[in-house]
Every structure is written in C-alpha cells, then in structure tokens.
Amino acid sequence: MANHAISACAPDASIESYIRHYAQCIDISLKQALASSNAHPKLLEAMEYSLMAGGKRLRPILMIAAAESLGAELERIMPVACAVEMIHSYSLVHDDLPAMDDDDYRRGKLTNHKVYGEAMAILAGDGLLTHAFYMATLAAGSDAVSLQRLMLVIREMAALAGIAGMVAGQAADMEGEQGITSLEQLESIHLRKTGDLIVFALRAGGRLSGASEAQLKALESYGYGIGLAFQIQDDILDITGDPAKTGKAANSDERAGKVTYPYFLGMDESRRKMHELTESAKQAVQQAGLPDPQRLLQLADYLMQRDR
Amino acid sequence: MANHAISACAPDASIESYIRHYAQCIDISLKQALASSNAHPKLLEAMEYSLMAGGKRLRPILMIAAAESLGAELERIMPVACAVEMIHSYSLVHDDLPAMDDDDYRRGKLTNHKVYGEAMAILAGDGLLTHAFYMATLAAGSDAVSLQRLMLVIREMAALAGIAGMVAGQAADMEGEQGITSLEQLESIHLRKTGDLIVFALRAGGRLSGASEAQLKALESYGYGIGLAFQIQDDILDITGDPAKTGKAANSDERAGKVTYPYFLGMDESRRKMHELTESAKQAVQQAGLPDPQRLLQLADYLMQRDR
C-alpha cells in the first residue's frame, strides 16, 4: 500500500472535505489492491466495474473515523478498510442478480450481470468476497498483540458479513418478500443486512487502534444507530428526494411494493425516529471516553442530513 | 471443537480405513461448526444440505495427511480442515447454478438451487465461503509464531481459492465454454479450478505443523500432481466407470460437449500421464525429508486407483 493513498485529513477540514478526502484515499487503495492482484483478466474487469462504480465509501470512512477517534495511525487499517468496501461491493453485485432483486441499474449504471452476464457477476462477487479476506491479512503486524487483534477482526468480519450477519439479513429479506408485516421484522432485516457491516467497520477501526471492550461496545451502538437512521433517510429520500441526486426515480419503493419506515410510521414519525437514533448514536460515542470523537459526531449528523 | 471429532487413526490401518476414519471426523466437525453458528435457519438448512451431501472430504484428509507427515497434532488444524471443505462445497453450489453449469443433480441428489431456489443457493454459497474464514480463525494459537503462521494460511486460502486461483479457474472455464482448443488450456483451468484448493489444503496442513519452505514446495508439487491425476481419472471413469459407483451416466462428458484428457490424448496416453503425475507427486514428498510421508504416498496411489 503506497503512502500517498493514506495522508491524514486536516483537522479543521469540513466534514464534506473529510469525506471527499478519504473517499479518494480509498479509491486509490482499492485500485492498487486490484492492480496488484494478478487476477484473471475478465474477472478483474467485472470486479473493478462494480468496485469502482462511485460508491460513497461510507464503511471505510467510518472505520477511519473510529481509528482517528482513538488517535491511531491510518496506515495499519487501510487494507481492512479496502476489505470492508469489497464485501459491500460483492453484496450489491449478488443482490442485483436476477434471482435476487433483479435490478438493471445501480447508481445510474448498468448492474454487473447486465454488462458481464450472470455467471461472471456471480464469480465477480465471489472474487470480491474472497479477496476481502486476502486484503485483511495484509494489515498484520509482527507482535502477538497486534496479530491477535487482527485475527479477531478477521473473525468478526466473517461473523458480521456472514451467516448470522449480512448474508442472514439478505436471506431474511428474500424470505420476507412473501410479506414483511411488522416494523420489528423490517428493522431486524436492516440491522443484519446493513447494520452489521457498518458495525464491523467501526469495531475493526477501534480494535486495531487499541479500543477497550467498553469503547468497542460504544462504537457498536453508534453503528447500529446510524445504520438504521441511514436506512430511514434512504426511505424518506425515495419519497421526497430529487431523483437527479438520489439516482432513483421518486417513489420507486412504493412502486416496487417495498415496505419502508414511512409505510409503517408515516413521514413525521419516521423523521422523529431518525433524529432520535442519531442522537443516541452520538451520545454513545460521547460517553465512551474516546480521545477524539469529533468526526464520528459530524458523520452521524451528515448522514441524517444528506440529500443523496 | 470437541475432542471426539479428532481421534488419530491407527498407524497400521489400511488407507481405506484411514480415509473412512478421517471423513467421519470431518463430518462430525462440520456438523458441530454449523450447529454452533447461530445462522439464519433457512440459510443454515440450505448450507447443511450441500455441505453434508456425502462428499469424499478429500481436501481435509489431504490437510490431515500433510500435518501427520510432519508428526503434528491434529487438533490445531481441524478448524482449517473444516474451512477448506466449506470452500469446496460453496464452489460446487455456485458452479451448479443455472447461470453456470446448470446442473440438476450432484452425487445423485438434487442440486442446492433445485431444492432451495436460486436466491437461497447463491446465499448458501456466500455463507459457506464467508464461514470458512470464520472457522479458519479458530485455529489460532496465542504466541506470535503460531499466529503469524495462521495469518499466512488465511492469506493463502484467500489467494488459492480466489481471483488468481479457484475463482479464476471457474471464470476461465466459463469463458472456455466458447471453445477449449488445447490440452494446455484445459490443464491451466484444472490447475486453478481444482489444483489450487488441493494445494492450499496440503500447504496449510504443512505450514501449521511447522514445515520448512522446501517442504511446503514439495507438498505443493505433490498437490498439483495428484490434482491433475485425479482429474484424469475422473475423465477416464466417465467413459469406463460403473455409473452405479461414479453416480454419473456413462459418457456424460462427451454428451455435454466437454473436452477431456481422453479427448486430447486418447485413453492409453491419458492413463500413462496419470501414472507419471502420480509417480512425480510421490517422489516430491519422498525427497522432502518429511518424518512420515507414508499416508501421502498411499493417498496418491489410492486416488489413481479409485473407481468412484
């Protein structure tokens, strides 16, 4: 991982600049990771198509912010930051498949299988998932403490992205298409499908930076809180957002027959809940004795106020 | 991992008993691994359906034999032995999908997607792949040397099962369906698609048991050799084998338009090549100064002589 990919962001930069800065760092690191991978050419092209399709890089940025909240250096965590983005990307490629959500477009571009065919899209997803674990091992130090920390991080990555976490969320979502009937059910799917990987990112950034168990718990509460708030804002933007910014046609959820927070709670109550979740998330990190939680607090507000 | 799953096989047991013994150990360990995983119920059922569908457990058994060739205890490696079988199982589930090989039966049972649907089969594969990495981390010791070894093993697992290894082999195979025109091309696909994971199993068993770099190289040569020999025997059995034993109709490759070793070389030359590969593989481990290579030698012969 070359150094230019990981310059620290200036402390007085706005949160927008902060996000832009680290999104660029991640983009560069991801490109380097793929370029040095010696992969099958067509497979690599399909993987790169989706990985470099202009994602927000939210999960790696949260990992970086968690590490910074403990005053840690970023160099160590960059391979794991790349790993979590690869996992996020694979999950989108597989979710878009005809047998799953059957989507033709994502972020205004054709989905992977529309460009490369279903077989290659399945393999591109498998490849991104597998390579995420390759990347994560590159964050290894040489002493027993840092090796043990990274081993736990890799285990949590597999757990939270896996069969009791993100993959379980997607499985429940597939089953739920036969009818999600309660807010609890909807929330349980979001917590697994979106929340778990966000929580992994935060805990990994914390653990690799020497967070205490109590601090890891606080980062976890923060993660589940902003994860749900993020989802509610997604649902709200689908109804009220500017399609030119969100990249989705207005009311696409309703037309797709998807149940959402506004569907269960109405718009006002959804907004109230989103604010409440964001405030609790901020409180969790404020009370955890983190040396510098500023960026985590700003990110929580930013995510709730975004318009895309 | 409870102890009854990992009793050592008697030194004077026949190779058939040896394989049966450790296949049972692996079955028990795999069942325990899934039972303790807290996974989504339907997803777990789909994973278990394919993982427990009566595979030969060849890769874990090779890992065990590699560890035994160095005189190592087996307890440490069992989680990694389970991991390699989970990866093998996921690869079959995804390979069978309609967008890939579109197979309705495997080992005489309906394929995963025929029973659980395509969406759940994709997720079962994703879940098995992810959980393999979870399992592998459970083999961790607490000292820096053993942690570093396991970190390298996990990295090699991702590399050899991934985008320059097994997944690359499957991608090349998919592309090759438009026409594999040479034996070199066929062999290159087999080396990635089958050889790499076998080599991973052997190197992992060796590395976790303290093998030297030269010994790891020898295990690797052995692995690629028996991997290709195994494939040739598969091709031969497709033509000459007893469908009741192989579980496949005779000449199914030819009818599916698959190119094979007999297609390129004829039957006699294919047999000669299989013997040559097996002998070279045996020589590699005989010359590596392994304390006890006996089971590796027996396994090489056994695989070549099998009738199913």
The full set of domain ranges for chain B reads 3-305
Across the interface, whether the CB atoms of B158 and A134 are under 8 A apart is answered: yes
Judge whether A42 is closer than 8 Å to chain B, CB to CB: yes
Query: Measuring CA to CA, which residue among A44, A35, A193 is closest to residue A127?
Result: A44
- Name the residue facing B137 among A130, A140, A151 (closest C-beta): A151
Q: A interface mutation test: which of B37, B38, B43 has the most A CBs within 10 A? A: B43
- Name the residue facing B171 among A118, A120, A171 (closest C-beta): A120
C-alpha dihedral, A125 to A130 to A135 to A141, nearest 10°: 160
Confidence (pLDDT) at A4: 47
Across the interface, whether the CB atoms of B127 and A163 are under 8 A apart is answered: yes
B264-279 mean pLDDT: 96
Judge whether B39 is closer than 8 Å to chain A, CB to CB: yes
Judge whether B36 is closer than 8 Å to chain A, CB to CB: no
CA distance B160 to chain A (A): 10
Q: Which two tokens stand for residue B247?
A: 């579980």
| Number of residues that make up chain B | 308
Query: Measuring CA to CA, which residue among B105, B46, B35 is closest to residue A175?
Result: B46
Judge whether A28 is closer than 8 Å to chain B, CB to CB: no
Confidence (pLDDT) at B5: 63
HEC secondary structure over chain B = CCHHHHCCCCCCCCHHHHHHHHHHHHHHHHHHHHHCCCCCHHHHHHHHHHHCCCCCCHHHHHHHHHHHHCCCCCHHHHHHHHHHHHHHHHHHHHHCCCCCCCCCEECCEECHHHHHCHHHHHHHHHHHHHHHHHHHHCCCCCCHHHHHHHHHHHHHHHHHCCCCCHHHHHHHHHHHCCCCCCHHHHHHHHHHHHHHHHHHHHHHHHHHCCCCHHHHHHHHHHHHHHHHHHHHHHHHHHHHCCHHHHCCCCCHHHHCCCCCHHHHHHHHHHHHHHHHHHHHHHHHHHCCCCCCCHHHHHHHHHHHHCCC
pLDDT of residue B293 exceeding 60: yes
pLDDT of residue B248 exceeding 80: no
Across the interface, whether the CB atoms of B43 and A159 are under 8 A apart is answered: no
Cα separations in angstroms, B116 against A61, A199, B128, B272, B294: 37, 30, 15, 43, 42
Judge whether A112 is closer than 8 Å to chain B, CB to CB: no
Confidence (pLDDT) at A72: 87
CB distance A160 to A91 below 8 Å: no
Across the interface, whether the CB atoms of A167 and B40 are under 8 A apart is answered: yes
Across the interface, whether the CB atoms of A127 and B167 are under 8 A apart is answered: yes
pLDDT of residue B68 exceeding 70: yes
Over chain B, what is the mean pLDDT?
Answer: 93
Restricting to B residues 151-190, those with a Cβ less than 8 Å away from any Cβ of A are: 151-152, 154-155, 157-159, 161-164, 167-168, 170-172, 174-175
In a 3-state reduction of DSSP, which class is residue A88? Answer: helix
pLDDT of residue A277 exceeding 80: yes
CB distance B135 to B80 below 8 Å: yes
Q: Which two tokens stand for residue A28?
A: 């560069």
Q: Which two tokens stand for residue B250?
A: 């005779």
pLDDT in tens, A207-234: 999 999 999 999 999 999 999 999 999 9
User: Given the structure tokens 């878009």, which residue do they identify?
Assistant: A96
pLDDT of residue B179 exceeding 90: no
Confidence category of residue B231, pLDDT binned at 50, 70, 90:
very high
pLDDT in tens, A159-171: 999 999 999 999 9
pLDDT of residue A66 exceeding 60: yes
Burial status of residue A178 (CB atoms within 10 A of its CB: 0-12, 13-18, 19 or more)? exposed
Percent of chain A with pLDDT over 90: 81
B13-20 mean pLDDT: 96
What residue in A sits closest to B159 (Cα-Cα)? A134
Confidence (pLDDT) at B284: 98
Q: How many CB atoms lie within 10 A of CB A283?
A: 15
pLDDT in tens, B86-105: 999 999 999 999 999 999 99
pLDDT of residue A121 exceeding 80: yes
Q: Which residues make Cβ contacts (< 8 Å) with residue B32, sequence separation at least 6?
A: B1, B2, B5
- Name the residue facing B167 among A43, A97, A159 (closest C-beta): A43
Q: Which residues of B touch A120 (CB under 8 A)?
A: 171, 174
Judge whether A126 is closer than 8 Å to chain B, CB to CB: yes
pLDDT of residue B2 exceeding 70: no
Instruction: Fill in the DSSP letter of residue A259.
Output: -
What residue in A sits closest to B141 (Cα-Cα)? A148
Query: Measuring CA to CA, which residue among A73, A81, A109 is closest to residue A24?
Result: A81
CA distance B62 to chain A (A): 22
Instruction: Fill in the DSSP letter of residue A64.
Output: H
Percent of chain A with pLDDT over 70: 98
Q: What is the largest CA-CA distance in chain A?
A: 55
In a 3-state reduction of DSSP, which class is residue A212? Answer: coil
C-alpha–C-alpha distance, residues A239 and A104, integer Å: 21
Judge whether B134 is closer than 8 Å to chain A, CB to CB: yes
Confidence (pLDDT) at A183: 92
pLDDT of residue B3 exceeding 60: no
Which CATH code, of 1.10.600.10, 2.30.110.10, 3.40.50.970, 3.40.50.1220, is assigned to A3-305?
1.10.600.10
In a 3-state reduction of DSSP, which class is residue A159? Answer: helix
Residue B288, amino acid:
A
The separation between CA B201 and the C-alpha centre of its own chain, rounded to angstroms, equals 7
Task: Give me the residues paired with residue A109 across strands.
Answer: A106
Burial status of residue A11 (CB atoms within 10 A of its CB: 0-12, 13-18, 19 or more)? exposed
Confidence category of residue A177, pLDDT binned at 50, 70, 90:
low
pLDDT of residue B183 exceeding 60: yes
Confidence category of residue A178, pLDDT binned at 50, 70, 90:
low
Confidence category of residue B51, pLDDT binned at 50, 70, 90:
very high
What residue in B sits closest to A129 (Cα-Cα)? B130
A139-165 mean pLDDT: 96
Q: B interface mutation test: which of A167, A177, A197 has the most B CBs within 10 A? A: A167
HEC secondary structure over A92-108 = HHHHCCCCCCCCCEECC
Residue A136, amino acid:
A
For every residue of A293-306, DSSP letters joined together read -HHHHHHHHHHHH-
Backbone angles phi, psi at B110, to 5 degrees: -60, 140
C-alpha–C-alpha distance, residues B241 and B305, integer Å: 12
CB distance A62 to A80 below 8 Å: no
C-alpha–C-alpha distance, residues A1 and A199, integer Å: 25
CA distance A85 to chain B (A): 15
Q: A interface mutation test: which of B40, B188, B191 has the most A CBs within 10 A? A: B40
Q: Which of A248-257, B2-11, B12-21 has the highest mean pLDDT?
A: B12-21
pLDDT of residue A103 exceeding 70: yes
